[in-house]
Amino acid sequence: MKIISPEQVHAALKYPELVDALQGAFSKPFTMPPRKVFLLDDEEDSHDAFAMLPSWNDSMIALKAFTYFPNPQPGYDSLYSKILLFDREHGNPLALVDGTSVTYWRTAGVSGLASRLLSREDSQTLLLLGTGNLSTYIIRAQASVRSLKRIFVWGRTPANAERVVSQMATELEGIEFSTVDDLQAACSEADIVVSATGSHEPLVKGAWIKEGTHTDFIGNHHATKRECDTALIVKSKVYVDSRDNCFKEAGEVLMPISEGVITETHVVGQLTEMCTGSVPLRESDREVTLFKSIGMALSDLVGASCAFRAATDNSV
């Protein structure tokens, strides 16, 4: 059984190849039981948790397991994650893959896949909200599926936005990078808006989004919090990675439902339906599309499998 490190994952995975692999996997049959999250203590002030996310398809079985300790002791991280891969035909263990690095790659890869399916093909300007660990992966994924010419980066801490811009401007030549502080103005110029923040209150407002824009919300996993307002949901064709997950955890969708302005039928489709073509996607250059993701275990299987195959081929 191989042990695949973060460095090997980073060397193995690339865009748009991972986007292609995700699209192929979501187009075919798979099984993904509900994830299990266990609180490790009974005390009200403790949020230490352990989680398991299983999935399998016709070639692999994967189990992602992670621990979350929000108040770690010095010298420890708040999150540790591993993905265990088994062969689907024989059941034998194949690899233990670093889960944290795969999560970055697959989360941004799904964002790129949503843009490939929903954004206008002539989209040229990306606005990214958020400067955390995901930010550079999101930029790479988006740039791999659309011929971007301008990328705006917004962050609560300007120095962090400058850091992202500096790094990516060196890596992706031919694209004009800049930081922004006026979100309303930046939203009105962007063809694609991706938000990956920890904000509990709406940052992106429907009134700011022009016709033809594709928006994507990644950062929030709480039923009573959201990164965009109700007006944007109402004016958009809404898609999600998983109806089951989003109707439990996505405040962007759940809060407008609780307000009585939309119903669950406002969600046009989920990622499997988008990839198989069983629901309509963008039907005009004037439509506003919105994709909300919570995260799916199959994406972990795909990312870990790609890393494993690369390691097996001795290419990393």
> Domain residue spans in the chain?
2-102+298-312, 111-296
* pLDDT score, position 166: 97
Q: What is the pLDDT of residues 148-176, one digit of tens each?
A: 999 999 999 999 999 999 999 999 999 99
Q: How far is CA 167 from CA 111, 131, 294, in A?
A: 20, 12, 27
CATH of 2-102+298-312, one of 3.30.1780.10, 1.20.1280.50, 3.30.479.20, 3.40.50.720: 3.30.1780.10
43 contact partners, CB below 8 Å, separation of at least 6 = none
Q: What is the pLDDT of residues 176-186, one digit of tens each?
A: 999 999 999 99
Residues of the chain with pLDDT under 50: 315-316
The full DSSP string for 164-199 is HHHHHHHHSTTSEEEE-S-HHHHHHH-SEEEE----
* pLDDT score, position 42: 81
- The dihedral of CA 86, 303, 241, 181: what is its sign? positive
* pLDDT score, position 99: 97
Q: Measure the CA–CA gap between 12 and 8, rounded to whole angstroms.
A: 6
Beta bridge partners of 178: 152
Q: At what angle do helices 99-118 and 17-26 cross, to 10 degrees?
A: 80
Q: Which CATH architecture has domain 111-296?
A: 3-Layer(aba) Sandwich (3.40)
Q: Measure the CA–CA gap between 23 and 144, rounded to whole angstroms.
A: 14
- Contact call for residues 55 and 84 (beta carbons, < 8 A): no
* pLDDT score, position 314: 63
* pLDDT score, position 315: 47
